[in-house]
Amino acid sequence: MALNAKAGALTIKMHLEREDDVVMYHKKIRRLMRKYNLVAKVRQANPYRKLAKATQEHRTCPNHLDRNFDQGEPGKVLLTDITYIRYGKGQ
């Protein structure tokens, strides 16, 4: 397993225990990382993810039925659940 500078002290600890059967305290691994100036890469947050969640309410349909499924007469209200819609060339 290649760690590729993405691993922090806890990931290195788990890797050592699993692959090499070496038991070492994670704080000692942190001290060694600090001593040799090893820094794990931290994933940057995606700024567009929060924007997409903020605009999610505009993409959802209003709940007109409000879980009142029994309307008294058949065919008055028709409901469906769309998991995915295929369009174009398999997109």
Domain spans of the chain? 1-59
Cα distance between residue 30 and residue 13, in whole Å: 10
Q: What is the pLDDT of residue 91?
A: 55
pTM: 0.46
Q: For residue range 60-70, what is the model confidence (pLDDT) as tens digits?
A: 677 888 888 78
The answer to whether residues 53 and 19 touch, using CB atoms and an 8 Å cutoff, is no
Q: What is the pLDDT of residue 23?
A: 94
Q: Which residue has the higher pLDDT, 68 or 24?
A: 24
Query: The tokens of 68 are what?
Result: 């009142």
Cα distance between residue 26 and residue 10, in whole Å: 6
Of 45, 44, 46, 42, which Cα lies nearest the Cα of 11? 42
Q: What is the pLDDT of residue 22?
A: 92
